Amino acid sequence: MDHVQEKDLERNLTWTESGQSVLKPNIRHLYLFGLWPLCESRLFNLYTFYGFILGLWNLTECLLTIYFAWGDMDEVTLVMMSSVSNLNGLIQMMFFVYDRRLYNSLARHVAALLSVQSDVCDRHPPLAAIFRSSQRRAFRLSLALLLFMFSQCFVWFPMPRIVYPEQRLLPFAQHAWDNNTNFYGLSYFAQCAAGLWMTQMSFGIDCLLASIMILLAAQLDILARRILALKNDGYNETFEYSKKRPGARFSDTMYSDLCLCVESHQKILSFVPHLQITMNPVAMTSFGCSVLIICLGLFQSTFSEDFSVVFKCASFLPIPCSRLYLYCWAANNVTEQAEAVSAAAYNCSWMDASERFKRAMRILVSRAQKPLVLMAGYLYPINREAFLTLVNASYSYYALLSQMNKR
């Protein structure tokens, strides 16, 4: 029975199902760029293959350019910056396509996660407001970051034709082997298309995972408020419970409500492994590539004598920084809200409660005190300290490149 249920969770989402999902903007954005199929279609598979070929074409061009320009640090580092960015998208695309069932299952588990406390939220407007706020935050954050990423197209793509109209230059990798004479128009289009596809897909996956972490943190926040409201003199005004109940009856009610909170906590925690399995390789890839991009972008912004290159790199630098911060901020919020559940349990009116209430509360506190830390690649904890560590690593690599350039 469990096997059949898991198979049902892993089946492809339909267009209608995606419209009912809280992750609708993220899922349909990935559908637009050929990554998340919402229908059984060979044309869509060809569309996905087209995006993969574009990324592979761009990576081949960049490797050839690096080979022919080896020794010219300015040219090599500039090409490496764009190639690492597109390589990040290509790798994440491969992870997604390799096991799309994992992402379909994750989307359905998110729906199940949000239904855990939906009845409570329906009865209590303040809790419903927390849930709605998390949805708005996830949507606005995804939209803002994806639009900012898209805005780079208007900086990088037309720049060679604006600054050097008399020269046949390409946006990213120059064909030193033929001086950009063969298939110039096709190469220009392929580089622009690959840059758009790979960056939108990789950032789309990152925003999807960040949105899920925001929703998870909101569920933990709602749970902490429910537990904190377990008062000996009745629930506070937020929950509008009567204060005139008999002691024994209220004790039973208080214990029953705690049991519901424990059950909700267990269901929320059972969701985390699904998120962790999906996020591990993607987050690790984003971390490694972002560190390299920041390092190379800093180098180009500092030492390049071409103003157009400096402008492009300086405008692009906030993107890898925001990607790192997006993961670390969202995962850190999950950790903090998980700790808040333990604090809420300690601060509720457990001292005057019944013995069975205290026993159940001890179980909840013991489990909630276990740190809920999301990982990248099963090796690297994702939190605010990790953000500072990664930025410091980027600066260290930048300093190394600077020393090499001065020799």
Task: Determine the Cα–Cα distance for residues 337 and 134; give it in Å rounded to an integer.
Answer: 13
C-beta atoms surrounding 19 within 10 Å = 12
Of the candidates 148, 287, 293, 104, the one whose C-alpha atom is nearest the C-alpha of residue 206 is 287
SS3 content of the chain, % helix, strand, coil (to 5): 75, 0, 20
Task: Determine the Cα–Cα distance for residues 325 and 390; give it in Å rounded to an integer.
Answer: 10
Question: Looking at the predicted structure, is the pLDDT value of residue 376 above 70?
Answer: yes
DSSP state of 13: P
Question: Looking at the predicted structure, is the pLDDT value of residue 268 above 90?
Answer: yes
Read off the pLDDT of each residue in 57-86 and give the average, rounded to a whole number: 89
Q: How confident is the model at residue 53 (pLDDT cuts 50, 70, 90)?
A: very high
What is the structure's pLDDT at 229?
A: 85
Read off the pLDDT of each residue in 280-284 and give the average, rounded to a whole number: 92
User: Among 148-162, 248-262, 352-366, 390-404, where is mean pLDDT lowest?
Assistant: 248-262
Q: What is the largest CA-CA distance in the chain?
A: 89
Task: Determine the Cα–Cα distance for residues 177 and 258; give it in Å rounded to an integer.
Answer: 71
Task: Determine the Cα–Cα distance for residues 218 and 2; give it in Å rounded to an integer.
Answer: 28
Q: How confident is the model at residue 6 (pLDDT cuts 50, 70, 90)?
A: low
> What is the per-residue burial (b if ≥16 Cβ within 10 Å, else e) of 21-53?
bbbebbbbbbbebbbbbbeeeeebeebbeebbe
Name the pTM for this structure: 0.91
**What would the pLDDT profile of 192-242 be if each residue is shown by its tens digit?**
999 999 999 999 999 999 999 999 999 999 999 998 888 654 444 444 444
Residue 123, domain extent: 2-406
What is the structure's pLDDT at 142?
A: 93
Question: Looking at the predicted structure, is the pLDDT value of residue 74 above 90?
Answer: no
Percent of the chain with pLDDT over 70: 92
What is the structure's pLDDT at 4?
A: 43
Question: Looking at the predicted structure, is the pLDDT value of residue 396 above 60?
Answer: yes
Count of domains observed in the chain: 1
Per-chain mean pLDDT for the chain: 87
**What would the pLDDT profile of 118-158 be if each residue is shown by its tens digit?**
999 998 999 999 999 999 999 999 999 999 999 999 999 99
What is the structure's pLDDT at 251?
A: 59
Specify the amino acid at residue 85: S
What is the structure's pLDDT at 244?
A: 41
71 Rama class: left (phi>0) / alpha (psi -120 to 50) / beta: left
What is the structure's pLDDT at 363?
A: 83
Question: Looking at the predicted structure, is the pLDDT value of residue 27 above 50?
Answer: yes
What is the structure's pLDDT at 334?
A: 95
**What would the pLDDT profile of 293-348 be if each residue is shown by its tens digit?**
999 999 988 888 888 888 988 889 999 999 999 999 999 999 999 999 988 888 88
**What would the pLDDT profile of 80-119 be if each residue is shown by its tens digit?**
998 999 899 999 999 999 888 999 999 999 999 999 999 9
Read off the pLDDT of each residue in 22-36 and give the average, rounded to a whole number: 93
Of the candidates 162, 390, 231, 220, the one whose C-alpha atom is nearest the C-alpha of residue 295 is 390
